[in-house]
Amino acid sequence: MPAEASLTVRDLTALLESFAPVGLAEDWDNVGLVVGDPAHPVERVMTCLTLTEDVAHEAIDNQVELIVTHHPLPFRPLKRLTTTTGEGRVLWNLIRSGISVYSPHTAFDSAGEGINYQLATGLNLAEIHPLIPADPANADSPLGAGRCGAVLEPTTLARLAANTRQLLSIDHVRVVGDDQLPIARVAVACGSGGSLLDAAIDSGADALVTGEATFHTLLAARTAGVAVVLTGHYASERFAVERLAAWLQAQQPTLTAWASREESDPLRLLTS
């Protein structure tokens, strides 16, 4: 019998794009296969939130053929690729090792079962819909930026914050608003989601759960009477790349897929 055909980078990118179509990405983004040979065979895949030097070394040491990084690298056009910059060293070493790089980024954020949907369902919201639909003419489409939904039973900002910590396995969040503020509708926006505050207000949300927001956005939320739960950029998205690795493994059992074990939040909390 002929040997089973190997999976290729092209096969894996097609699978990823079936889950998070690149057409959902924001115009400013750089999604898809950003480094590599579509015909190259793949047996080992590693996911990560951000492709740092530590993460790249992990991939090289473990003979990975494809990295799926949420944040694109490169993100902006490069005039030169040298080892004199951190970004250049990462890319140079990956290319020398034959490792391809794919980024779903904002397409993954806005996919039907993407990061924002996972945040919303993880918080047990009902009647979930995008904050900004990908197709405004189709009100029933599950695609688009952010999510908003109703809580299943009356809750407070303090309880919402506790549920968020539990979902993301983190020990603290920062909040805007009174702990006992009643919450009936919640908007979620992973990463730098403060830019979706106006959409959250328009949706009738009592609270916005996001990774990070500017100081002036937080003041605007307080003025509008909308609570905010800030998880940190890393925590709001890292859980989803862990789930993505498990999904890839389930879809293609011949793969070895895992989320980077070296990756960590660059911010840490000092308590003394």
Binding residues for a divalent metal cation are: 70-71, 109, 233, 237
| Amino acid occupying residue 241 | V
Distance CA 163, CA 221 (A): 21
Unique residue bearing structure tokens 């897929």: 257
What CA–CA distances, in Å, run from 44 to 26, 58, 82, 229?
A: 29, 12, 27, 36
Cβ neighbors of 31 (< 8 A, separation 6 or more) are 22, 25, 72, 103, 104, 105, 106, 107
Going by the annotation, the residues of the binding site are: 70-71, 109, 233, 237
DSSP strands (E only) in the chain: 32-35, 44-48, 66-69, 100-103, 125-129, 132-133, 144-145, 147-156, 174-176, 182-189, 207-210, 227-230, 256-259
CB 11 within 8 A of CB 36: no
